[in-house]
Structure 1
Amino acid sequence: MMKSTSDRYGAVAVTLHWLSAFGILALLATGFRAADAPDPAALLRLHVPLGIAVLALTVFRVVWWLALDRKPAPIANTLAGQERLARGVHLAFYIVLFGMFGSGIALMAMSGAGAVLFGGGPLPDFSAYGPRAPHGIGAMLLIALLIAHVAAALYHALIRRDAIFRRMWYGKGKRAD
C-alpha cells in the first residue's frame, strides 16, 4: 500500500522517513568529521550533494503530507499532551532542516566553497561567514530532536508496547494500537 491507512504509514511515507533518517545521520557525521579531517574537502564533497538530496526528500515529504496522503490516527490511549509534543517535535524537525538547508546553501554561496569543492583549491575558513553559526547551531538542534524522537519511539516500543515501529515499517502486520 502506497498511502497511509488510519493505523499505519504507507510505503511512500515509510521510505521517505527512513531515507531521510539515514541521510540526516550521514550529514551530521560528515559535517562534524569534516572539521577535524585531514582532507575536509573529501567529506564535504559527500556532504553537499547529500544535503541537496535530503532537501529534495524533505520538500517531497512536505508535498506528500500536504497534498497526497494523510497521517494515521494517533495510537490509542495516547495522551493529548504527548500527541502535541510529537507534532511539535516533527514540526521542529522541518523548521530546523529548512534552516540547515538555507544556511548550508548560503555558506557555500558566500564562501565560494562550491567551486573549490568541485574544482580544487584550498577551502575557505567557514567560520568567517555568517551562515556558519546557524548551520552549527542547527546541527546541535537536529541532534537534540533526534534524541527526543528516538527516545519517544523507544518509550512506545519498550514501555507502552504499542507497536510503534510496525506503523513505520513495510507490510500489513497487525494494527499498531
Structure 2
Amino acid sequence: MKSTSTQYGTIAVTLHWLSAAVIVALLASGFLSGAATGEVGRKTILAAHVPMGLGVLVLTVLRILWWLVADRKPLPGSTANMWQHRLAQIVHALTYVLILLLCISGIGMMALTGAAGVLFDVTAGPLPDFTEVAPRALHGLGARLLMALLALHVVAALYHHFVRRDQPISRMWYAQK
C-alpha cells in the first residue's frame, strides 16, 4: 500500500494515474466546450466537465494529504542529478498549485454566474457568459500552463525511462510481486 525507497505504493500509483486520466479528460472537455458553437453541446460537455473538476479537487487534496500524513516518496532515480531532481520537485509543486487554482477558479465561475443550475437543468435557459467573470481568465491561462507542465512531465518521464533507463514509469506503476 505504501511506497518503498525505490517504488511508489499502490495508493500513490492509483491516485496518480486516476488523477492523470481525469485531468486529460478535463483539459479535453474544457477546450471542447470553449470551441463548441451549439448551446446544447456546450451544456452537455460542461455537465460532464464540472463534476470531473470536483473529482480532481478531491483526488488532489487526497494526494496532498497522503504525502503529508501517511507516506513518503521514494528516493530519486539513480541517474537523476541534483538539478534534475530539484526541477522535478518544482514541476510537481507547480502542477499541484495549478490544479488547485483551476478547481478554485472553476468553482468561482459556477458561483459567480449561477451556471450550475443551468447546466443540470436543460430547461433553465442559456448558459451565462463566463468571460464576464474574473476567474475565467485564470481558468483559461491555468489550463494552458497545466498542459505545458504536463507535457514537460511526460517528456521527462519518457526521457528518463527510455534514454537514461532509470525506470520512472516502472516505479510509478504497480509493484510486481
Pairwise same-fold verdict (TM > 0.5):
yes
Deviations along 1:64-96, one digit per CA (max 9) or x if unpaired, are 000000000011131100000000000000110
Give yes or no for the alignment of 1:16 onto 2:15.
Answer: yes
Alignment of structure 1 residues 1-177 onto 2, 5 Å: 2-37=1-36, 38=38, 39-120=41-122, 121-172=125-176
Which amino acid counterpart does residue 112 of structure 1 have in structure 2?
G
CA contact 2:7–2:175 (8 Å) conserved in 1: no
CA contact 2:2–2:71 (8 Å) conserved in 1: yes
How many residues get paired?
172
Which sections of structure 2, spanning at least 5 residues, go unmatched? none
CA displacement at 1:129 relative to structure 2: 0.9
CA displacement at 1:172 relative to structure 2: 3.0
CA displacement at 1:44 relative to structure 2: 0.3
Which sections of structure 1, spanning at least 5 residues, go unmatched? none
Which amino acid counterpart does residue 67 of structure 2 have in structure 1?
W
CA displacement at 1:36 relative to structure 2: 2.1
Higher mean alpha-carbon deviation, 163-172 vs 26-35, is at 163-172
Deviations along 1:152-172, one digit per CA (max 9) or x if unpaired, are 001101210111111000123
Which amino acid counterpart does residue 132 of structure 1 have in structure 2?
R
Off by >3 Å, runs of 4+ in structure 1: none
Partners of 1:124 and 1:78 in 2: how far apart? 48
CA displacement at 1:127 relative to structure 2: 0.7
TM-score, normalised to structure 2, is 0.95
Partners of 2:89 and 2:176 in 1: how far apart? 24
Which amino acid counterpart does residue 124 of structure 1 have in structure 2?
P
Which amino acid counterpart does residue 33 of structure 2 have in structure 1?
A
TM-score, normalised to structure 1, is 0.95
